[in-house]
Amino acid sequence: MSADLTELYQQVILDHNRRPRNRGKLPTANRVAHGDNPSCGDQCSVYLRLEGDRIADLSFDGSGCAISQASASLMTTRLKGKTAAEAEALFQQFHDIVTTGQAPEEISDLGAFAGVHAFPARIKCATLGWHAALNALKGDPVPATTETHND
């Protein structure tokens, strides 16, 4: 990776850390999950409004290191409007980036986290918000709805 690209990627992380996107509780959320990374002290809650199979809106709230908070912020911007399957695929792409350090050819803001692979303990920081989001997608609706189940 060129020095210029490294600089750009650092800017992405710094920017999301200074000005987190979609931060705070989402009043209309119907899915919530909490993630905890005790090895670093990071916390992250993800609030999703799932409409059918699509993430209509989402937000995060939490505290912790710059990597964990910037990653959660970026995650919310990338998952909005995605289906659950698309969200899973995007997480797989992000997971590959942070574990191998290989960012896709095209400049992707997700590639900002490629440098994390050199610090294995920080991979959990970078993936915390994503895990919370995927858990929220798989979780039961909250609060309990009047949906009927075929059981």
Residues lying near Zn ion in the complex (CB under 5 A): 40, 42, 64-65, 68, 125
Nearest approach, Cβ of residue 39 and Zn ion (Å):
8
CB-nearer residue toward Zn ion: 80 or 124:
124
Nearest approach, Cβ of residue 38 and Zn ion (Å):
10
β-partners of residue 144 are: none
CB-nearer residue toward Zn ion: 5 or 40:
40
CB-nearer residue toward Zn ion: 125 or 137:
125
Between CA 44 and CA 78 the distance in angstroms is 17
Interacting residues of 105 by C-beta distance below 8 A, sequence separation 6+ = none
* Residue 95 Cα distances to 4, 19, 52, 53, 126, angstroms: 23, 23, 26, 22, 9
Nearest approach, Cβ of residue 15 and Zn ion (Å):
18
Between CA 119 and CA 108 the distance in angstroms is 20
Nearest approach, Cβ of residue 92 and Zn ion (Å):
21
Strand order in the sheet with 54-63: 31-37, 42-51, 54-63
CB-nearer residue toward Zn ion: 40 or 56:
40
